[in-house]
């Protein structure tokens, strides 16, 4: 206090250096909002820019190094790569872990950008930053994604044909999708065949395109990503599953323990413990949904009638024998989680797959 005049002394505000600035960006498909904070957490600039490489260069090329936070999404891969190329520190926030933004009662693009900037300024760990795969790996993964879309389109067309003929008193027998078109043209009458022909042509084209994607996936697995050969030695794991696993995880050194992969892919049970209440819940289903689906399909083969004997199969069958309404489902998920851990271990060590590893280890 100034004793003479009884007034508060006005402190001089020192301007923040560019290095202490933090930026939050809420990415949109056409336009993106941004918010810039200084070293003291005050908003010094807000605005929007076109979601395009040229607009990013215009706004951030001439700036000193800043910490920039953005949310994971469709454009986050190329945007983060572009900003790092311009010399900035980039944090890509995990959308599942920032519920204060995604589930806010007053959600808007401008507020989201400011919240991202404030979280990044206080503690980057709040954002649970993720690491994107490289652009080259993303291009390879796009082949897998395209195949998945084609398979779903073909399934929809097959189901549509089956649904169209049932009201007329015809029922198509169960068969493979590759032979579905030929069977329809042999068994259906002319009137129904004329109506179904456009869908049958689409199924034929989908079969050809899926075969092309399968060929491309095998070429990638045998050529660019030869580390998948060790993974494919496991029964039930083919080129599609092994390649999707490697491209989704991207970096085999990102996990200090192989068992962490199960949590990363959403096979860990959810938990909502409070006091004496600790109910048993289902899995989190976090991570990549398609890879989790492929691992579940592999687990079905391991526990199925054609699966060869192994320690993993015997362990899954023991879970089934416990009985209960959902014993088989729990066994499938448990085997899929074990399979994800085993795949990572083989990927890191490039060792030979041994069906009864512990037994042979004790014998040695």
pLDDT per position as a tens digit, 287-346: 899 999 999 999 999 999 999 999 999 999 999 988 777 899 999 999 999 999 999 999
**Greater model confidence, 108 or 227:** 227
Q: What tens digit of pLDDT does each residue of 274-287 get?
A: 787 878 788 888 88
The continuous run of DSSP H or E covering 68 comes out as: strand 67-71
DSSP single-letter state for residue 225: T
Q: Are strands 31-37 and 89-93 parallel, antiparallel or unpaired?
A: unpaired
pLDDT at 257 over 50: yes
pTM, two decimal places: 0.81
10 in helix, strand or coil?
coil
DSSP-assigned beta bridge partners for residue 45? 36
Q: Answer for the pair 73, 130: CB distance below 8 angstroms, yes or no.
A: no
- Joined tokens for residue 71: 């949310």
Confidence of residue 163 (pLDDT cuts 50, 70, 90): very high
> How far is it, in rounded angstroms, from Cα 321 to Cα 317?
6
Query: Exposure string (b/e) for 290-314, b if CB count within 10 Å is 16 or more?
Result: ebbebbbbbbebbbeeebeebebbe
* Among the listed residues 113, 77, 76, the one whose alpha carbon sits nearest the alpha carbon of residue 98: 113
Q: How far is CA 107 from CA 99, 104, 172, in A?
A: 11, 5, 50
Query: How many CA atoms, within 13 angstroms, populate the side-chain half-sphere of residue 298?
Result: 30
| Structure confidence at residue 116 (pLDDT) | 92
pLDDT at 8 over 70: no
Contacts of 225 (CB under 8 A, 6+ apart): 140, 243, 246, 247
Greatest alpha-carbon span in the chain: 105
Q: What tens digit of pLDDT does each residue of 119-152 get?
A: 999 888 888 888 888 889 999 999 999 999 999 9
| Structure confidence at residue 9 (pLDDT) | 38
pLDDT at 103 over 80: no
> Nearest 5°: CA angle at 227, between 364 and 229?
70
> How far is it, in rounded angstroms, from Cα 114 to Cα 120?
10
* Among the listed residues 11, 9, 25, 16, the one whose alpha carbon sits nearest the alpha carbon of residue 76: 25
* Among the listed residues 344, 316, 321, the one whose alpha carbon sits nearest the alpha carbon of residue 332: 316
Token pair 């068992």 in the structure block, residue: 259
Confidence of residue 102 (pLDDT cuts 50, 70, 90): low
């Amino acid at each position: 206090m100034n004793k003479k005049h009884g007034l508060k002394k006005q402190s001089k505000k020192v301007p923040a250096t560019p290095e202490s600035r933090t930026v939050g960006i809420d990415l949109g498909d056409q336009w993106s909002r941004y918010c810039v904070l200084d070293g003291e957490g005050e908003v010094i600039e807000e605005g929007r820019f076109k979601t395009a490489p040229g607009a990013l260069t215009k706004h951030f090329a001439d700036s000193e190094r800043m910490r920039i936070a953005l949310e994971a999404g469709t454009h986050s891969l190329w945007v983060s790569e572009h900003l790092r190329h311009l010399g900035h520190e980039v944090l890509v926030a995990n959308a599942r872990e920032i519920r204060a933004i995604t589930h806010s009662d007053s959600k808007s693009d401008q507020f989201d950008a400011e919240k991202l900037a404030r979280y990044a300024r206080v503690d980057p760990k709040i954002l649970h930053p993720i690491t994107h795969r490289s652009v080259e790996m993303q291009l390879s993964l796009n082949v897998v994604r395209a195949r998945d879309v084609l398979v779903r389109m073909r399934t929809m067309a097959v189901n549509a044909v089956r649904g169209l003929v049932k009201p007329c008193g015809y029922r198509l027998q169960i068969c493979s999708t590759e032979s579905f078109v030929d069977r329809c043209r042999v068994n259906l009458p002319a009137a129904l065949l004329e109506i179904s022909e456009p869908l049958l042509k689409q199924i034929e084209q989908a079969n050809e395109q899926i075969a092309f994607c399968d060929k491309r996936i095998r070429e990638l697995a045998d050529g660019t990503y030869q580390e998948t050969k060790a993974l494919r030695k496991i029964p039930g794991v083919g080129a599609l599953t092994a390649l999707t696993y490697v491209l989704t995880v991207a970096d085999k050194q990102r996990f200090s323990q192989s068992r962490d992969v199960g949590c990363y892919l959403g096979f860990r049970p959810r938990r909502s413990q409070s006091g004496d209440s600790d109910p048993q819940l289902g899995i989190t289903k976090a991570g990549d949904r398609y890879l989790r689906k492929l691992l579940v399909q592999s687990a079905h083969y391991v526990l199925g009638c054609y699966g060869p004997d192994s320690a993993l199969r015997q362990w899954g069958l023991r879970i089934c024998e416990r009985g209960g309404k959902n014993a088989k489902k729990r066994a499938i998920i448990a085997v899929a989680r074990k399979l994800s851990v085993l795949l990572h271990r083989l990927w890191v060590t490039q060792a030979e797959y041994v069906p009864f590893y512990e037994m042979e280890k004790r014998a040695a």
